[in-house]
Amino acid sequence: MEPIEIAQGVYDVGVTDWNVRDFHGYSTDLGTTYNAYLIIDEKITLIDTVREGFAGQLLENISRIIDPKSIDYVISNHSEMDHSGGLARVMHRIGADKPIYCSKMGHKNLPKHFTPGWNFHPVATDQELSLGNRTLTFLETRMIHWPDSMFTYLNENQILFSSDGFGQHYAGPEKFDDQIDDATVMYHAKKYFANILLLYSAHIQKLLQKVLDLGLDFKMICPDHGIIWRKDPKKIMDAYVKWCRQKPHKKAVVVYDTMWHSTEKMAEAIVAGIAKEGVPAKPLHLRKWHRSEVMTEVFDAKAIVVGSPTLNNQLFPSLADFLTYMKGLKPLNKIGAAFGSYGWSGEAVKLINQELEAMKFEVIDPGLRIQYVPDKAALEVCYEFGRKIGKAV
């Protein structure tokens, strides 16, 4: 994409990755962006870079505005390689002696990725950097979502460069929140939170409060992925405050896989029983839904019902994968239940319960097992199992 002036003398010079479809286990069916920002002042400043393979596009975008050698300062808000991968090529082009401002933890990380001989300047919260007519303030935001993460605030323009905070893995023709409908951008923002930041909710809540306590006004929030928030930055800030609380909706998801459709039939009967109690419920087949899409549905659901056939005395592989993935994200305030069909052993339900209990879910039933193909009477049992779950939501 071409550089876009987002405020006077402030440009998005980042790039669009239209073709990425997996981001360390997260589905990116619409691609993503690696946003980087250029501030033109007495001291020309670049905030973040891009993934390594896109560094040439980044430098080309910068060249449409100024000679990259004119850059005086580089800010590294986050050392993860989708934002720092292009740093080596940028430093080679602009001069390896140019100052790189990063957090203290960033100062530990970046030399392990690149050469330790660069001119690093570690900074702390509230530390300022004058660019001439404008001033940057740094805010350490550890675990949003790495220990090195920080925000950078352009005081005079009231712009927050928020690194991985408030972002979305979304690539499209739109650049700003007023160019895309709310439902679309908020879905992608929620998916990003549910799959990347959920684990750190309690910590993020405290950090956001610290940011709010600083009394800063935000005319624009510029994340390193996806849409820039200029129409209503408060909308995404308020959403994060709400999401961090993890207060579930009256909603259930039934996550399952199936070998010969027996567990699938059970899942559909359970969903019908839950719905009978006035609770929205959705069956999610794990070979039809990506784990990150399932996790987005799980995020705000009260009841998580998990079904698996038994394979070699174990969980079906897709269920083992998803439960491991969900456990790492540590969702809170859930009730859970397990079900599954089996042939001659039937350990899957017990194994699911063990995983749900390890995640501190309130397991509301010992679980439901049906041998081989469920008949009409067995499906009625599944339906009543669903009703019991619906009443507990």
Last residue of a domain, one of 245, 280, 299: 245
Mean pLDDT of 252-261: 96
Same domain, 260 and 233: no
- The total of structural domains in the chain comes to 2
**pLDDT at residue 51, rounded to an integer:** 92
Q: Is 300 helix (H, G, I), strand (E, B) or coil?
A: coil
Same domain, 135 and 266: no
Same domain, 241 and 258: no
Same domain, 382 and 257: yes
Q: Of the candidates 131, 125, 189, which has an alpha carbon nearest to the alpha carbon of residue 152?
A: 125
Which residue in the list 164, 224, 264, 297 is annotated as catalytic? 164
Same domain, 231 and 256: no
Residue 147 pLDDT exceeds 90: no
Which residue in the list 41, 48, 78, 268 is annotated as catalytic? 78
The share of the chain scoring above pLDDT 90, in percent, equals 84
83 annotated active-site:
no
Residue 261 preceded by cis peptide, ω within 30: no
Give start and end residues of each alpha helix (H) in 73-181.
Answer: 81-84, 87-94, 104-113
Same domain, 297 and 227: no
- Specify the CATH number for the domain of residue 232: 3.60.15.10
Q: Of the candidates 166, 24, 31, which has an alpha carbon nearest to the alpha carbon of residue 81?
A: 24
Q: Tally Cβ neighbours within 10 Å of residue 218.
A: 19
Q: Tally Cβ neighbours within 10 Å of residue 28.
A: 20
Residue 215 pLDDT exceeds 90: no
Give me 68's structure tokens.
């990259």
**pLDDT at residue 2, rounded to an integer:** 85
Q: Which residue has the tokens 């927050």?
A: 160
Last residue of a domain, one of 230, 245, 260: 245
Same domain, 260 and 241: no
Domain that holds residue 321: 252-392
82 exposed, middle or buried (CB, 10 Å; 0-12, 13-18, 19+)? buried
Same domain, 66 and 168: yes
Contact status, residue 134 vs residue 155, Cβ threshold 8 Å: yes
pLDDT digits (tens, 9 = 90+) for 94-114: 999 999 999 998 888 888 888
**pLDDT at residue 143, rounded to an integer:** 77
**pLDDT at residue 243, rounded to an integer:** 96
Same domain, 296 and 236: no
80 annotated active-site:
yes
Last residue of a domain, one of 221, 245, 269: 245
Residue 53 pLDDT exceeds 80: yes
Q: Is 140 helix (H, G, I), strand (E, B) or coil?
A: strand
Contacts of 132 (CB under 8 A, 6+ apart): 41, 42, 43
Q: Of the candidates 347, 348, 292, 351, which has an alpha carbon nearest to the alpha carbon of residue 325?
A: 292
225 annotated active-site:
yes
Which residue in the list 37, 73, 101, 192 is annotated as catalytic? 192
Position 217 confidence tier, pLDDT thresholds 50, 70, 90: confident
Same domain, 356 and 273: yes
Which residue in the list 17, 48, 80, 224 is annotated as catalytic? 80
Which residue in the list 83, 169, 188, 225 is annotated as catalytic? 225
Which residue in the list 83, 107, 145, 188 is annotated as catalytic? 145
Residue 116 pLDDT exceeds 80: no
Residue 363 pLDDT exceeds 80: yes
- Give the CA radius of gyration of the chain: 24
203 annotated active-site:
no
**pLDDT at residue 210, rounded to an integer:** 81
Same domain, 266 and 334: yes
Mean pLDDT of 241-260: 96
pLDDT digits (tens, 9 = 90+) for 311-349: 988 899 999 999 999 999 999 999 999 999 998 888 999
Numbers of helices and strands, H then E, in the chain? 12, 24
290 annotated active-site:
no
**pLDDT at residue 284, rounded to an integer:** 97
Q: What pTM value is reported for the model?
A: 0.93
**pLDDT at residue 170, rounded to an integer:** 95
Query: What mean pLDDT is reported for the chain?
Result: 94
Amino acid (one-letter) located at 174: E
Which residue in the list 48, 82, 140, 268 is annotated as catalytic? 82
- Specify the CATH number for the domain of residue 327: 3.40.50.360
Same domain, 256 and 370: yes
